[in-house]
Structure 1
Amino acid sequence: MDGVHAAKGESIKTLDELEAIIGKAPPALDLKVINHLDSGALRWIAASPLLFACFGSGTTLGVTLGGGPPGFAGGDARTLRLSAAMLDDPSLAQVGQGFGALFLLPGTGETLRVTGTVSAQHPGEISITVHECYGHCAKALIRSGFWEALPDGTAPSNPSAFIDATRFMALATSDAQGRADLSPKGDPAGTMVRLDPHRVWFADRPGNRRIDSFRNILTQPRVAATLLIPGSTHVAYVSGTARITADEAVRSQFAVQNKVPALVTAIDDAALQLRESPALVRAGMWPVKPPTHGIQAAQLFIEHVKLNKESSLGARLASAALSVPGVSGLLKKGLEKDYKDNLY
């Protein structure tokens, strides 16, 4: 692997510098965020065989996977409950810590993101008080070819070679108060992550534009991540201190389809571990089977906008527009067009 040549430009240190490059997050994005688990989210969680989870306190941050037969996670409107036995590293969960998760549905590109706080630990069960719940766009999983993979028992045992073959990342960040977040990243092999002797690099691609990860890195740069080769049950775990750069020489090394990313993130002094994930083994996701759950991501997005408590005129107009019969199909077509036209 050639690695990434050292950046010449300065790291981005303020939100103003960040927004000068990528713009402000559109306020409308918050309309899809709700503060509880509605019936659609609970159905999604009940049907999910795999989650990525992070736990943080503001000074510590860890990431793990959970997986098994659908139903290993559940809860009610205010509380998410996880089976500790289904997590690869349940010791990361401590009462009072921030929590972030991605729930995946086989064959579905969109993911369900949930954030909260660990509120209790019972024998065999971890309880999370829910703060936010929303659907995330499908671009990361599409770029990674996540659901096109077949079972692959030939993943490289050498960490450097594994990194080079990685196509999916779940990036964990938290703010200074320990509020944690987990964000999906996806790219073809060779452009997802780059490794040099002292750091790991990855690019920012078009997504949901909430910039939560960037905001967190600017205030609390400690990060952790899981790196996957779809089809393999092995996972690389990376942790270190992140910084963001817009250095052109670095960005150009991550070009895909002649599109150069606006930003690249480095994880300095990166600690790297490679091991098999029992959660991925139990989940048995590849080859993907035809879905039977009947869940439609576009409908979930619509219901969340309608449930959002924002009372502005824009929010009321959005809710009214999404109540028109047939709008779910139109939104689905709009998402599919965006995924095709704006993948990079």
Structure 2
Amino acid sequence: MDGFDAQDVIADEAALRALFPPVSPLAQVKSLPALDRHARDFIARSPFVCLGTQGGDGTADVSPRGDAPGFVEVLGDRLLAIPDRPGNNRLDSLSNILANPRVGLLFMVPGFDETLRVNGQARLVRAPELLERMAVNGREPRLAVVVAVEEVFLHCAKAFRRSKLWDPAARQDRSEMPSLSKMILEQTTGAPEDAGEMEKIDAGLEEAYRKSMY
């Protein structure tokens, strides 16, 4: 179906492991069952986390979540909460959690080449006292994603160093691609040919951002 010969496809873990050297002793033992002080400090500094979910039919999804550093609240050694800020209302991640509570989190800190990975089981919670603490500009989230932590570990810097993600010299010019509005319109109903009309649509999106961040 995808054009690859069967002998070129890795189909079992034994074949996979045979391609790589043994895992290092430190990597083997670094996984923790709870948030230690270093994990807590990392989360407190993080303004961005990727939330990985999977639906009942096995469909996978990863959603970015961002806010001021420390927006993810640590409720205990094995419990944390992520406010659900306004989005596009597709509710992909939230619907997946209802079907399959297992989630994976990847925390990032600007300037840090290391990341923090957390795996566990999530619930959608509307506890008033929690939502009140997560309010910004007087606006509470509709709910919080509360994760019962099962596994925590720090991830090494190789991916970020290869990608030069935080290197200012590696930044790309955003104007080299169309605006988000134009790309989505071209992918769906069609974008207007008139540049002025497209500018109005882009300005409308920016205004929507301004009004609906929280």
Distance in 2 of aligned mates of 1:215 and 1:185: 16
**Superposed counterparts of 1:95-106, under 5 Å:** none
Distance in 1 of aligned mates of 2:175 and 2:200: 21
Preserved contact between residue 46 and residue 69 of structure 2 (Cα < 8 Å): yes
Q: Secondary structure of the residue that 2:119 maps to in structure 1? A: strand
Counterpart residue number, 1:185:
65
TM-score, structure 1 as length reference = 0.48
Structure 1 residue 329 corresponds to structure 2 residue 199 = yes
Superposed displacement of residue 292, structure 1: 6.7
Count of aligned pairs? 180
Which of 163, 171, 185 aligns to 2:51? It is 171
Q: Secondary structure of the residue that 2:41 maps to in structure 1? A: helix
Which of 224, 230, 236 aligns to 2:116? It is 236
Unpaired runs of 5+ in structure 2? Answer: 3-9, 20-36
Distance in 2 of aligned mates of 1:178 and 1:266: 21
Q: Secondary structure of the residue that 1:299 maps to in structure 2? A: helix
**Superposed counterparts of 1:217-256, under 5 Å:** 217-256=97-136
**C-alpha deviations, 1:220-272, integer Å up to 9, x for none?**
11111101112211111011110001111111121122221110011113321
Preserved contact between residue 192 and residue 198 of structure 2 (Cα < 8 Å): no
Which is helix-richer, 1 or 2?
2
**Superposed counterparts of 1:24-63, under 5 Å:** none
Distance in 2 of aligned mates of 1:292 and 1:168: 20
Counterpart residue number, 1:301:
184
Which of 286, 293, 302 aligns to 2:166? It is 286
Distance in 2 of aligned mates of 1:236 and 1:257: 28
Quick one: percent identity of the two aligned structures? 27
Distance change >3 Å, CA 238–CA 331, structure 1 → 2: same
Distance in 2 of aligned mates of 1:197 and 1:254: 19
Which is strand-richer, 1 or 2?
1
Unpaired runs of 5+ in structure 1? Answer: 1-77, 80-93, 96-120, 125-156, 307-318
**Superposed counterparts of 1:99-114, under 5 Å:** none
Bigger radius of gyration among the two: 2
Preserved contact between residue 113 and residue 160 of structure 2 (Cα < 8 Å): yes
Distance in 1 of aligned mates of 2:151 and 2:71: 20
Counterpart residue number, 1:8:
none
TM-score, structure 2 as length reference = 0.76
Q: Secondary structure of the residue that 1:169 maps to in structure 2? A: strand
Superposed displacement of residue 209, structure 1: 1.3
Distance in 2 of aligned mates of 1:274 and 1:252: 30
Counterpart residue number, 2:85:
205
Distance in 2 of aligned mates of 1:343 and 1:204: 11
**C-alpha deviations, 1:122-162, integer Å up to 9, x for none?**
xx9xxxxxxxxxxxxxxxxxxxxxxxxxxxxxxxx811111
- The alignment yields a C-alpha RMSD, in angstroms, of 2.4
Distance change >3 Å, CA 200–CA 302, structure 1 → 2: same
